[in-house]
Chains A and B, each alone.
Chain A
């Protein structure tokens, strides 16, 4: 009985893993600007001997130390954009643990944030942003997916440094909390 349980668990692993990879297909897609940072990168960064007396640096390291993955995909191509939109709606509707965190409509932009419950109300285990609309004078679609133990209060600082569009909206989230 135990054996079959383990077997089932093992068989199920790929399915869970594939949920994480819902947007990986855009990595090699033409007309897509992508940025992916992995857990290895964060581990490596945490090993670096930065000037850790600086509280700001320390806070930053604390934040990224707990992250698993950051993926950002941007496109201006209309057909790729519609594929991205499909992928997001499929992912969010097929994943009941993912709930809408916030929706912002502002200046011709539509931004939606989804999150997966984390260890407490300020921490989420997954943060997904979906932005569509006019950005710097061009129609763009952006998907950002962050997984790990994410501190919502601090994550906007990171996304701002990575130049992710929509970070401002995320900052508002901090203020509300």
Chain B
């Protein structure tokens, strides 16, 4: 019986070690792809989004401060071999399948799909991730990176975009990639 106990302990410990070795974080993966020409990347500090003459209240500023940056990495398909695309996509998929990436929503139809995930707690989100793919256009990972972002406060902040306090023009740089994303999200409806 004692032997069995030890065995179970050892198996559990080795399993834990094993899983640690295998886990590749999304951050690590995306950093690795930083110099890969196949990928399109956009990094945007959210401080850029503020209009100079915007009049945010202190509370709104505090909320904005919890959002650090927007990061988009995309693999556009341009008619080349899809095997490499498939391996990269599967890699991202397997990373996102890890437990720390909590699934909010999953949608898919035929060759398109989108997954909405987050890390952190539901009232203190560290990272909001959208993973969208389209077998004809490629895949993209959108990340909103922050520190303990509060969804309820974020909603309030969204309303202030209508007031013109946030400079959306700064986002036009990712227009190309975004159009890919919005196309696939439009298709879901």
Q: Which residues of A contact B (CB under 8 A)?
A: 27-28, 30-38, 40-41, 43-44, 47-49
Q: Are A35 and B102 in contact (CB under 8 A)?
A: no
Instruction: Please name the residue on chain A nearest to B117 by beta carbon.
Output: A40
B31 within 8 A of A: no
* Per-residue interface assignment for chain B, residues 97 to 124, with 1 indicating a CB less than 8 Å from any chain A CB and 0 otherwise: 0000011111111110000101000110
Whether A33 contacts B109 in the complex (CB less than 8 A), given A38-B102, A40-B118, A44-B104, comes out as yes
Q: Which residues of B contact A (CB under 8 A)?
A: 102-111, 116, 118, 122-123, 150-153, 155-156
**5 A-B residue pairings within 8 Å (CB atoms):** A31-B110, A34-B109, A35-B106, A36-B103, A47-B123
CA of A44 to CA of B104 in the docked complex: distance in angstroms?
9
Q: Are A36 and B106 in contact (CB under 8 A)?
A: yes
Minimum CB–CB distance from B119 to chain A (whole Å) comes to 11
Minimum CB–CB distance from A55 to chain B (whole Å) comes to 20
Q: Are A38 and B151 in contact (CB under 8 A)?
A: no
B104 contact from A35, A40, A47, Cβ within 8 A = A40
Known contacts A36-B105, A36-B106, A43-B122; 8 further A-B pairs (Cβ under 8 A): A33-B108, A37-B106, A41-B103, A41-B104, A41-B116, A44-B118, A44-B151, A47-B150
Minimum CB–CB distance from A158 to chain B (whole Å) comes to 15
Instruction: Collect the chain A residues with CB atoms within 8 Å of residue B111's CB.
Output: 30
Minimum CB–CB distance from A58 to chain B (whole Å) comes to 15
Whether A34 contacts B107 in the complex (CB less than 8 A), given A44-B151, A48-B151, A48-B155, comes out as yes
Whether A33 contacts B106 in the complex (CB less than 8 A), given A40-B122, A49-B156, comes out as no
